[in-house]
Amino acid sequence: MKRESGHLAALPPRFLMRYVFHEDALAFVSSLPSESVELVLTDPPYYGIVKDSWDNQWRDVDAFVDWLFSVFTACRRILKPTSTLIFFGGIGKQKQRSLLRLIERMDSLYVYQNWITWGKRRAYGKKDDYLFTREEILWYTMSERFTFNIPLLAEKRGYAGFNPKYPAKSEYKRVTNVWTDIPELFRPARYCQKPEALIARLVETHSNPGDMVVDPFVGFGTTGIVAVKLNRYFAGCDMASDAELANQRVMEAKSNVQAIQVECGGDQGSDCPGDEATSDC
């Protein structure tokens, strides 16, 4: 991987030692330098959807929305004028609709770009209601200048090639804002663990190799694992004690990528966090 000038030099030394920190999201974001990140991609708590204590920390829905809004406010400082913020969310229970409340306030911070619905295979719910099988992905940017590497499906659409005048008519089918082609993990190691293919589509579409990706609610480490596999820099945190395990998982993914690069005769990527033997880390 070619070193992206500035990224590592701009980071405080602790970011050269590890990928995932066991700490609170707000403290973690505050410790990152201003305008140092191209993509914040994160899957924060949903508010009372999952039984785990991390999803039930707030006295009411207003307190939850205030808190998440404060995290996204803090993220603005670390993002560049051309950067992107993407987060997962559930619309929320009928009387709360936490996501809708948050979205109303997000316009004061970011430029809204799109709302992707991820349709999952497994459904749950009540007998007198439609079953729930969806999760939302909200895409925001800092301005109207941003990275968007057009994602395409493997299926052919039949047109000769991509024509910017007719953006829906491409050789391969374009990805819409309803995703049903990537199933959830049926036996996740941890609640809400996202499939790597889902995160990979977002990382590849909204960032470039050498970019800095940040996830302040990293869970089992999925965003970090995918980011390093795709030759992005990564930093993340989680308040759960298995943040250490997530860090190990990202470190391992990075080592595997380096091993493949060495085998293929590519750049060995000497800029890896955790590789203190090198002069820069």
Ligand X SMILES: C[S@@+](CC[C@H](N)C(=O)[O-])C[C@H]1O[C@@H](n2cnc3c(N)ncnc32)[C@H](O)[C@@H]1O
The pair of structure tokens assigned to 161 is 């090639």
Classify 117 as helix, strand or coil.
Answer: strand
Which of 134, 157 has the CB closer to ligand X? 134
CB of 230 to ligand X, least distance (A): 16
Which of 54, 132 has the CB closer to ligand X? 54
User: Degrees (nearest 5) of the Cα angle 65, 85, 226?
Assistant: 115
Binding site for ligand X (CB under 6 A): 24-25, 43-45, 54, 190, 192-194, 217, 219-220, 222, 237-240
- Whole-angstrom CA distances from 46 to 32, 86, 190, 196, 212 are 24, 14, 15, 20, 25
CB-nearest residue to ligand X: 219
Pair 213, 233: CB distance under 8 Å: yes
The residues pairing with 137 across neighbouring beta strands, listed in sequence order, are: 88, 116
Which of 219, 273 has the CB closer to ligand X? 219
CB of 265 to ligand X, least distance (A): 33
Which of 137, 272 has the CB closer to ligand X? 137
Which of 1, 243 has the CB closer to ligand X? 243
CB of 138 to ligand X, least distance (A): 14
CB of 243 to ligand X, least distance (A): 8
- Whole-angstrom CA distances from 214 to 113, 151, 279 are 19, 21, 24
CB of 220 to ligand X, least distance (A): 3
CB of 17 to ligand X, least distance (A): 19
* Strand residues in the chain grouped as ranges (E): 20-22, 37-42, 79-89, 111-124, 132-141, 152-156, 172-174, 178-179, 212-215, 233-238
- The CA distance from 86 to 43, in Å, is 9
Which of 56, 177 has the CB closer to ligand X? 56
